[in-house]
Every structure is written in structure tokens, then in C-alpha cells.
């Protein structure tokens, strides 16, 4: 058996026949997990759709309090991070460890940027009293239903933000493991799967941005 | 058996999953699906006892008019806990997480589930969720029923949020178990175990897992929104803030109606295994039974509105949901007729698993048929929120799921424990439970048809006799289950050792020793035939000498 073969054996659990077998199973598991994520966010999107249908005028008025420039900036940031993530997966698959480290690092930094921008936006909303439900104190918006828009805004971007945070956690875990030379063209399952996850997080934002910032 | 070439040899020096490795810590951090299944089983049975305690309290209170033992507020807490515990902590995990975990990989000829660490994590997530729910018991309790309808659940000053949060967390355990099982069935089937040779229990678990994966995340977000509603007053479900309380019902039932099939499908899987073995006949309509599980899973997602016929839905929606709901009866009927046809001219052995399977057929058929009544709009408007509904879903959940669970427990008891239970004791307990069940819940159909509303603390004087009958019945059920607890404990202490295949079954779990070794099979089995081919040479059944 070749050296590569030995590295393979090291990585697959006893109940799988081969590393390939384990990789296929892990990939299927990840896809199923992403399906559950779609359905969880789906609940929020349905709530959004229903209330927008009920109060279209209020949605139009309330959405103008959001900062489209910052939202657009964050969209660019996240899409770029998806690109760097894809490059990181490719670099790992082809055994370019240095490049993988750089790409993962960049993805991490872009995720940070996203959250910093989100922080700026949130602080601004807090300052203006644009808070969910009963905490809403803004006097500019006349529609009594306006707090509902900000409930949805904070819930949807908040849940998404938590996903970004979790993504940063797993990306730093990948960084550590790449640094320890644990991945190779024969074994790169975690990198590929985190890649799936990260693209999903990006995709959710691509829906959130027009629905919340560009309603008008 | 001639159908399989397996390593049906005893493990070295009597070593099996129960006694090796030793020590409580090896259990708590085990990755073995069998041990995780057993831990689930113990936990679920513990909660079954707790939920049963609340049920007995409810029935005792309803023995006579006015106050018997509980005041009205305590009564509200009792039925809330009875419902929430039985649904989220017993019936949903009972068969998939407990028995599915134990049996599924063995039925597939696999060494373990696809993701063993995730499997252990699921168990602990379940325990954390359950802890939150139980914690609320010691604070200000929870009321409003297991459905947590808004706006009451937003306004009540009980600690209902802990139960909500507990169910939210336990939901992830259900999602991850479903995910794990789907991948296991896809990727870890033994050589030769084609889809067309897959045991029907695996098909049932597959269909169940699909529902778990697709529906539970919606419950998660719903309960999260309700928690947020209580903490941050976000207003989504609160009419005072512009929200819509009926939206909660839609969300809740979008999960909880499919959840009904999470409860029943695995039980149907067990019945499909037990009936051919104890009738000594090949299963009738294998493909029909397998596919109908998916039919049920599919229809499960498009019938939730039948819980809301009087919640202010449009008439068109009511009509459509009513029609769709009746379609559930089609795949269900396919299964029932296939089981009956399997028994026809079979050589039926009335051992405990078969008794429970027959109990299932009787009770579930009544539960299913009354479900068609309730799907009928004109009748449902009259019966909504009456005891008729209570009787209906107890016939399905207890008569279906719990009967299926008991059938499975007895069927796989020799495999799990390596011991035989007493067939005589099991028969007595079965009759106690079956008679008690019918005594308890059949009168409730009549009470409901006469207009007695559910969840009320008291009732009109003319309902007294039937309520007494129902309460007396609940003691028979309790007695039956206590007796089960006794003889199971006794069998584990003093029972005879079980042979590898006490029932003469052809599925893979019977081709390894009882209890199985840690790796399930000493060598990977190769499947060469369909597992229901009960041929003349193996038609006689070994006798249970427990």
C-alpha cells in the first residue's frame, strides 16, 4: 500500500469501507443539514411574506429607515467571502496549503467585516429607537404597526448574524487544522462541508438584502 | 438461516455490547448505537411514567363533579405537562430514537449509524431540552396545553417559556437523529441489501426521518419566535402589536401535524416486522407497505389546516384541507389491509409482540376511522375541542404508537437484554392494558359526541357515569404498565438466557447473538434474499421458554 493509502486509512471511521465512502456520507449529511436550515429560515420568510402582504404601506415606510449603502456593502463583502471560501476548498483539494491558509484567513476577515458593518447598523437603529415590538420608541414613523417591521428585521438579520458567527468559529477551526497539516488532497471533508455551509449563509443574505433594504 | 451468510457465532468469551467495556462512564460517553438506544429507552420510559402520573391525576380529578383532588389551576398544569411530556419526550423519541437506534444499524448489517458522535450529541441535546422542561415544574409550572396557543401563551404568568425552550432544544435532537438515519440507510447497507430487500421497519424509519428533517426546523423557529414574543414582545403573534395569533397555529400545526406521523410511522414499521414473523407467512404487499409510508409522509405536510377549521380560515381553505385530510386514509388503509392479508391463512402465534400488534390493529383502526369523521367539515365543527377529539388522538397515539412500542419492546427484548421475559405475565399485562385502554377512552367518544368540552376542570352532572368509567379504566392501564415494569425487571434479573433467534425471524438482527457484540456482527453479513420468505422448512416457530 502506498503512503497516500496509509494517510487514508488514518482518516476513516471503522464503520465505513473507505475514506471515499465516509466522504460521500458526510456530504449527504451536510446537504440534509442545509435543508433543515432552509426550513428554519423558511418560517421567518413566511412570516415576512404574510405581514408584508397585510401591511405593504408600513413596510415601505419602515424600510426607508434602513441604510441601503451599508446593506449593499455587506452584500459585496459576503459574496467576496464566498469566493475566497471556494478558493480555499480548491487550494486544499490541490494540496496548496499556503494558499488555503491565506484564503481561509481572508474569509474569516471578511466575515468580521460583515459583522462590524452590522454592528454599526444595529447601533444606529438602537439610537433611533427602531427596536422590535414593545421596545420601539421612534417617533418619526407614524404607522402604529411599524415596530413589527423591525421585529422581523432584527429576527432575520439576527439569526443570520448568529450563523455568520458560527461560521467564523468553524473557519478558525479549519485554519488550525490546516496549519497542523491535517488536510490533504485525499482528505479534505471538513473544508468542503464548511464551504457548503458558508455558501448557504451567503445565500440567505442575498435574499435578506432585497427583502429588507430594497422593498420600495 | 439459509437466506444469509452471516457470522452467527457467539462473540469471544461471552463478550457483548452490554458487558464490554465495563463501567458507567463507558456508557455515558459511548458511541455505540446500541448503548445510546438503551439510554434513550430508559429516559423515555422514565418520562412515560411521569406523563402517566399526570394522566392519572387528570382522571382522578374528573371522577366527580367539582373539586376532587386538584384545583382548577393545578388541573391546567396537569394536562399541559401530560401532553407536553408525552408528545415531546415520550412518543416522538420512543420508537425512532430508542428502538430505531438499537435496531436500525443491525437490520442494515452495519457496524453503527453514519455519524456516531452526532448520535451521542443528539441524546445529550435531548437530555438538556428535557431538563429545561422539567425545571419549569419546580418553578411556576406551565399551562395552556401542549399546543401553546397564542395569545394565552404570551400572557400567562407561568414559566411556560422553559417548556417552550426545552421543546425547542429537544427538537434538534430529533432533527439530528433523522438526518443520521437517512444517511445510514443510504450509505451503510450491507452487501446485497438492496432497496427491494430492505426490512419494512427501515422503510418506515426512513419516511419518519424525512418528516423529522423537514418539519422539525419549522417548529424550532416557531417556538423561538414564541420565546422572543415573551422576552422581547416582538408582536408577530400578538394581536395587540399588529401580529397574528392564527399564524402561530399555522406554524405550529405545519410541524405538529407531520409530527403525528413521526409518532405513528415507526410503530407501523414494527407491526410490519412482527406480523409476518408471528404469522409465519411472507408479508403481503411489501412494496405497497413501503411506498405507503412515503405517501403518508407526503400527505402529512398538506393537511395541517384541519386543526383550524374553526380558527377563522377561509371556507375554501377548510374545504381543501378537509378533502386532503381524507386522503391520509388511503395509504393507511393499504397498510392495514396488507397486514390483515398477511395474517390470512397464516399460522398465528399469540406471543406478546403479536398480541400488541393485534391490539394495534384494533385500536389504530378505530383511531384512524374517527380521524376521517373529524376531517369531515360539518361533523368537525360540532366535535371541535370536545372529548371526541381527545378519544380520537389517544386511540391513534396510545392505541397506535404505544401499542407498536410495546410490540417492539417485547419483540426485541431478547435481543436487547439477552434474556427472555415471561410470556404468561406479558399476556396478562397486555389484556389489562387493552381492556383498560378501551374502558378509558371509548366512553370519551360518547362524551365528546354529547358535547363535553376537553380541558375543562368540571362537567355537567349527566356526564358523571361515563367519566367515572373512564377514570376506572385509567387504573387498569396503570396496573398493566406497573406489571410490565415488574416482569421486565424480573426477566432482566432472573430470566432465561435468550438464543440468537428466539422467534425464527429472517431479518438480520436475529442472525447475530443475543445480546449482539459491540461491532454487531463478527463479520459483515452478505444478504442474498428478501427477509420475509417464510418457507415451509422454517414455518415452525421456536417456543418461548421464558
Residues A26-46 pLDDT 10s: 999 999 999 999 999 999 999
Q: Does A119 touch chain B (CB under 8 A)?
A: no
| Closest listed residue to residue A32, CA positions, set A187, A163, A173, A197 | A197
Under the banding of pLDDT at 50, 70 and 90, the label for residue B536 is: low
Mutation to test the A interface, candidates B32, B36, B179, most A Cβ within 10 Å: B179
CB–CB contact A43 B225 (8 Å): yes
**pLDDT tens digits along B282-296:** 999 999 999 999 999
Q: Does B240 touch chain A (CB under 8 A)?
A: no
Q: Where are the beta strands (DSSP E) in B69-207?
A: none
Longest dimension (CA), chain A: 75
Q: Quick check: A65 and A130 in contact, CB under 8 A?
A: yes
**Quick one: pLDDT at residue B540?**
61
CB–CB contact B217 A134 (8 Å): no
Report the first-to-last Cα separation within chain A, whole angstroms: 64
Show residues of chain A in contact with B241, CB under 8 Å. Answer: 133-134, 147-148
Shortest distance between the Cα of A12 and any Cα of chain B, in A, equals 11
Q: Over 50: is that where the pLDDT of B374 sits?
A: yes
Q: Over 50: is that where the pLDDT of A1 sits?
A: no
Q: Over 60: is that where the pLDDT of B1 sits?
A: no
How far does Cα B94 stand from its chain's mean position? 5
B147 exposed, middle or buried (CB, 10 Å; 0-12, 13-18, 19+)?
middle
Q: How far apart are CA B502 and CA B420, in angstroms?
A: 9
**Residue B453 backbone dihedrals phi, psi, to 5 degrees:** -75, 150
For residue B108, the chain A residue with the least C-alpha distance is A15
**Quick one: pLDDT at residue A141?**
83
Q: Does B230 touch chain A (CB under 8 A)?
A: no
Structural element, H or E, at residue B4: strand B4-5
Shortest distance between the Cα of B346 and any Cα of chain A, in A, equals 38
Shortest distance between the Cα of B127 and any Cα of chain A, in A, equals 21
How far does Cα B425 stand from its chain's mean position? 23
Q: Please compute the mean of the pLDDT values over residues B26-40 and round it to a whole number.
A: 94
Show residues of chain A in contact with B125, CB under 8 Å. Answer: none
Q: Over 50: is that where the pLDDT of A58 sits?
A: yes
Q: In whole numbers, what is the pLDDT of chain B averaged over residues?
A: 92
B456 exposed, middle or buried (CB, 10 Å; 0-12, 13-18, 19+)?
middle
**pLDDT tens digits along B230-279:** 988 898 999 888 889 999 999 999 999 999 999 999 999 999 999 999 99
Q: Over 50: is that where the pLDDT of B110 sits?
A: yes
Show residues of chain B in contact with A135, CB under 8 Å. Answer: 232-233
Q: Which of A50, A51, A134 sits opposite B233 (nearest CB)?
A: A134
What number of CA atoms fall less than 13 Å from residue A160's CA on the CB side? 28
**Distances, alpha carbon B163 to alpha carbons B88, B129, B258, B268, in Å:** 10, 8, 21, 29
CB–CB contact A55 B217 (8 Å): no
Q: Does B234 touch chain A (CB under 8 A)?
A: yes
- Return the CATH class of domain A18-213: mainly alpha
Q: Which of A14, A50, A133 sits opposite B235 (nearest CB)?
A: A133
Q: Does B382 touch chain A (CB under 8 A)?
A: no
Q: Over 70: is that where the pLDDT of A60 sits?
A: yes
Would you tell me which residues 9-38 of chain B have a C-beta closer than 8 angstroms to some C-beta of chain A? none
* Residue B345 CB neighbours (<10 A): 9
Q: What single-letter DSSP state applies at residue A131? A: -
Q: Under 8 Å CB-to-CB from B28, ≥6 apart: which residues? A: none
Q: Please compute the mean of the pLDDT values over residues A113-129 and round it to a whole number.
A: 93
Q: Which of A24, A50, A135 sits opposite B232 (nearest CB)?
A: A135
Shortest distance between the Cα of B331 and any Cα of chain A, in A, equals 26
Q: Over 60: is that where the pLDDT of B8 sits?
A: no
Q: Please compute the mean of the pLDDT values over residues B142-153 and round it to a whole number.
A: 90
| Domain layout of chain A by residue ranges | 18-213
| Closest listed residue to residue A149, CA positions, set A28, A60, A32, A43 | A60
Show residues of chain B in contact with A145, CB under 8 Å. Answer: 242
CB–CB contact A44 B228 (8 Å): no
Show residues of chain B in contact with A43, CB under 8 Å. Answer: 217-218, 221-222, 225, 251
**Quick one: pLDDT at residue B312?**
86
Q: How far apart are CA B341 and CA B281, in angstroms?
A: 10
**pLDDT tens digits along B75-106:** 999 999 999 999 999 999 999 999 999 999 99
Task: Return the bridge partners of B526, or none.
Answer: B5
Q: Quick check: B68 and B468 in contact, CB under 8 A?
A: no
Q: Does A18 touch chain B (CB under 8 A)?
A: no
Query: What secondary structure does DSSP assign to B238-282, as a single string?
Result: -GGGT--HHHHHHHHHHHHHHHHHHHHHHHHHHHHHHHHHHHTSP
Q: Quick check: A191 and A89 in contact, CB under 8 A?
A: yes
CB pairs under 8 A between A and B: 112
Q: How far apart are CA B145 and CA A185, in angstroms?
A: 54
Q: Does A162 touch chain B (CB under 8 A)?
A: no
CA-based R_g, chain B, Å:
23
Q: Under 8 Å CB-to-CB from A183, ≥6 apart: which residues? A: A92, A97, A100, A177, A190, A191
Q: How far apart are CA B486 and CA B498, in angstroms?
A: 19
CB–CB contact A39 B217 (8 Å): yes
Under the banding of pLDDT at 50, 70 and 90, the label for residue B12 is: low
Under the banding of pLDDT at 50, 70 and 90, the label for residue B4 is: very low
Would you call B348 helix, strand, or coil by DSSP? Answer: coil
Task: Return the bridge partners of B5, or none.
Answer: B526
Q: How far apart are CA B306 and CA B295, in angstroms?
A: 18
For residue B248, the chain A residue with the least C-alpha distance is A47
Show residues of chain A in contact with B236, CB under 8 Å. Answer: 47, 51, 148, 151-152
For residue B212, the chain A residue with the least C-alpha distance is A36
The angle subtended at Cα B407 by Cα B406 and Cα B409, nearest 5°, is: 60
For the entire predicted model, the pTM comes to 0.92
| Closest listed residue to residue B205, CA positions, set B135, B146, B273, B136 | B273
**Quick one: pLDDT at residue B537?**
58
**pLDDT tens digits along B182-217:** 999 999 999 999 999 999 999 999 999 999 999 999
Q: Please compute the mean of the pLDDT values over residues B6-22 and round it to a whole number.
A: 68
- DSSP-H helix ranges across B280-422: 286-300, 315-327, 329-343, 352-375, 377-383, 387-396, 403-417
Q: Which of A32, A44, A51 sits opposite B179 (nearest CB)?
A: A32
| Closest listed residue to residue B130, CA positions, set B74, B176, B89 | B89
**pLDDT tens digits along B456-494:** 999 999 999 999 999 999 999 999 999 999 999 999 999
Q: What single-letter DSSP state applies at residue B511? A: G
**pLDDT tens digits along A175-198:** 999 999 999 998 999 999 999 999
**How much of chain A, in percent, has pLDDT values that exceed 90?**
76
The angle subtended at Cα B173 by Cα B169 and Cα B175, nearest 5°, is: 105
* Residue A140 CB neighbours (<10 A): 11
Show residues of chain B in contact with A42, CB under 8 Å. Answer: 217-218, 221
Show residues of chain B in contact with A34, CB under 8 Å. Answer: none
| Domain layout of chain B by residue ranges | 4-538
Q: Over 60: is that where the pLDDT of B544 sits?
A: no
Looking at domain B4-538, its CATH superfamily turns out to be Cytochrome c oxidase-like, subunit I domain (1.20.210.10)
For residue A44, the chain B residue with the least C-alpha distance is B221
CB–CB contact B217 A151 (8 Å): no
**pLDDT tens digits along B408-460:** 999 999 999 999 999 999 999 999 999 999 999 999 999 999 999 999 999 99
Q: Does B529 touch chain A (CB under 8 A)?
A: no
Q: Quick check: A195 and A89 in contact, CB under 8 A?
A: yes
Would you tell me which residues 500-519 of chain B have a C-beta closer than 8 angstroms to some C-beta of chain A? 519
CB–CB contact A15 B233 (8 Å): no
Show residues of chain B in contact with A14, CB under 8 Å. Answer: 111-112, 519
Q: Which of B114, B175, B241 sits opposite A134 (nearest CB)?
A: B241
Own/partner contacts of B535-541, CB < 8 Å, gap of 24 or more, are: B538/B1, B538/B504, B538/B506, B539/B280, B539/B347, B540/B280, B540/B504, B541/B278, B541/B280, B541/B347, B541/B349, B541/B503, B541/B504
Q: Does A45 touch chain B (CB under 8 A)?
A: no
ipTM of the predicted assembly exceeds 0.85: yes
**Quick one: pLDDT at residue B330?**
94
**pLDDT tens digits along B50-71:** 999 999 999 999 998 888 888 9
Amino acid at each position: 500500500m502506498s503512503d497516500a493509502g496509509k494517510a487514508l486509512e488514518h482518516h476513516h471511521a471503522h464503520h465505513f469501507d473507505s475514506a471515499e465512502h465516509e466522504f460521500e456520507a458526510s456530504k449527504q449529511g451536510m446537504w440534509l443539514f442545509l435543508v433543515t436550515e432552509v426550513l428554519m429560515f423558511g418560517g421567518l420568510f413566511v412570516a415576512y411574506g404574510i405581514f408584508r402582504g397585510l401591511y405593504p404601506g408600513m413596510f415601505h415606510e419602515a424600510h426607508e429607515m434602513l441604510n441601503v449603502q451599508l446593506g449593499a456593502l455587506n452584500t459585496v463583502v459576503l459574496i467576496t467571502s464566498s469566493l475566497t471560501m471556494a478558493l480555499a476548498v480548491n487550494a486544499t483539494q490541490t494540496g496548496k496549503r499556503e494558499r488555503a491558509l491565506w484564503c481561509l484567513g481572508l474569509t474569516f476577515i471578511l466575515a468580521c467585516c460583515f459583522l462590524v458593518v452590522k454592528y454599526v447598523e444595529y447601533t444606529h437603529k438602537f439610537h433611533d429607537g427602531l427596536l422590535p415590538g414593545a421596545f420601539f420608541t421612534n417617533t418619526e414613523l407614524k404607522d402604529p404597526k411599524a415596530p413589527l417591521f423591525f421585529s422581523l428585521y432584527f429576527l432575520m438579520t439576527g439569526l443570520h448574524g448568529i450563523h455568520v458567527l458560527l461560521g467564523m468559529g468553524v473557519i478558525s477551526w479549519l485554519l488550525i487544522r490546516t496549519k497542523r497539516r491535517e488536510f490533504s488532497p485525499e482528505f479534505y471533508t471538513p473544508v468542503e462541508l464548511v464551504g457548503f455551509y458558508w455558501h448557504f449563509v451567503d445565500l440567505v443574505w442575498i435574499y435578506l438584502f432585497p427583502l429588507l433594504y430594497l422593498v420600495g | 438461516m439459509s437466506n444469509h451468510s452471516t457470522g452467527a457465532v457467539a462473540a469471544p468469551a461471552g463478550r457483548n455490547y452490554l458487558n464490554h467495556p465495563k463501567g458507567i462512564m463507558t456508557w455515558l460517553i459511548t458511541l455505540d448505537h446500541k448503548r445510546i438506544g438503551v439510554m434513550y429507552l430508559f429516559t423515555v420510559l422514565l418520562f412515560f411514567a411521569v406523563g402517566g402520573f399526570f394522566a392519572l391525576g387528570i382522571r382522578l380529578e374528573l371522577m366527580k363533579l367539582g373539586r376532587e383532588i386538584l384545583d382548577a389551576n393545578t388541573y391546567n398544569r396537569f394536562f399541559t405537562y401530560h401532553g407536553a411530556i408525552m408528545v415531546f419526550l415520550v412518543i416522538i423519541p420512543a420508537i425512532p430514537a430508542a428502538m430505531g437506534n438499537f435496531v436500525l444499524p443491525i437490520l442494515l448489517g452495519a457496524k453503527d449509524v453514519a455519524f456516531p458522535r452526532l448520535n451521542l450529541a443528539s441524546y445529550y441535546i435531548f437530555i438538556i431540552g428535557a431538563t429545561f422542561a422539567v425545571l419549569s415544574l419546580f418553578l411556576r409550572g406551565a399551562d395552556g396545553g401542549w399546543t401553546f396557543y397564542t395569545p394565552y401563551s404570551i400572557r400567562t404568568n407561568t414559566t411556560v417559556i422553559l417548556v417552550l425552550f426545552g421543546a425547542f432544544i429537544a427538537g434538534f435532537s430529533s432533527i439530528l437523529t433523522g438526518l443520521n438515519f437517512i444517511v445510514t440507510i443510504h450509505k451503510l447497507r450491507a452487501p446485497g441489501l438492496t432497496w427491494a430487500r430492505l426490512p419494512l421497519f427501515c422503510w418506515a424509519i426512513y419516511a419518519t426521518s424525512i418528516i423529522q428533517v423537514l418539519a422539525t426546523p419549522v417548529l424550532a423557529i416557531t417556538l423561538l419566535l414564541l420565546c422572543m414574543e415573551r422576552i422581547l414582545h416582538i408582536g408577530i403573534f400578538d394581536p395587540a402589536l399588529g401580529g397574528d395569533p392564527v399564524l402561530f397555529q399555522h406554524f405550529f400545526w405545519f410541524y405538529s401535524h407531520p409530527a403525528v406521523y413521526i409518532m405513528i410511522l415507526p410503530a407501523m414499521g414494527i407491526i410490519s416486522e412482527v406480523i409476518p414473523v408471528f404469522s409465519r407467512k411472507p408479508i403481503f404487499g411489501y412494496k405497497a407497505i413501503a411506498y405507503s409510508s412515503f405517501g403518508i409522509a407526503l400527505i402529512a405536510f398538506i393537511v395541517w389546516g384541519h386543526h383550524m377549521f374553526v380558527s377563522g380560515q377561509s371556507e375554501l381553505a377548510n374545504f381543501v384541507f378537509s378533502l386532503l385530510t381524507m386522503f391520509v386514509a388511503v395509504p393507511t388503509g393499504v397498510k392495514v389491509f396488507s397486514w390483515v392479508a398477511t395474517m390470512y391463512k397464516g399460522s398465528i402465534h399469540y406471543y406478546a409482540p403479536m398480541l400488541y400488534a393485534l391490539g394495534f390493529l384494533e385500536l389504530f383502526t378505530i383511531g384512524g376511522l374517527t380521524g376521517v369523521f373529524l376531517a369531515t367539515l360539518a361533523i368537525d365543527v360540532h366535535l371541535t375541542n370536545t372529548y371526541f377529539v381527545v378519544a380520537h388522538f389517544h386511540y391513534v397515539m396510545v392505541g397506535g404508537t404505544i401499542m407498536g412500542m410495546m410490540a417492539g419492546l417485547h419483540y426485541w427484548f431478547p435481543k436487547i437484554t439477552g434474556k427472555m421475559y415471561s410470556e404468561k405475565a406479558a399476556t396478562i399485562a397486555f389484556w389489562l392494558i387493552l381492556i383498560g385502554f378501551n374502558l378509558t377512552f371509548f366512553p370519551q367518544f360518547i362524551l365528546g359526541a354529547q358535547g363535553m368540552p376537553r380541558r375543562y376542570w368540571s362537567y355537567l352532572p349527566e356526564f358523571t357515569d361515563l367519566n367515572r368509567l373512564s377514570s376506572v379504566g385509567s387504573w387498569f392501564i396503570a396496573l398493566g404498565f406497573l406489571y410490565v415494569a415488574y416482569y421486565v425487571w424480573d426477566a432482566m434479573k432472573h430470566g432465561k438466557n435468550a438464543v440468537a433467534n428466539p422467534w425464527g425471524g429472517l431479518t438480520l438482527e436475529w442472525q447475530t447473538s443475543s445480546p449482539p457484540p459491540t461491532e454487531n456482527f463478527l463479520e459483515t453479513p452478505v444478504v442474498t434474499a428478501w427477509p420475509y420468505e417464510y418457507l415451509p422448512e422454517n414455518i415452525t416457530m421456536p417456543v418461548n421458554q421464558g
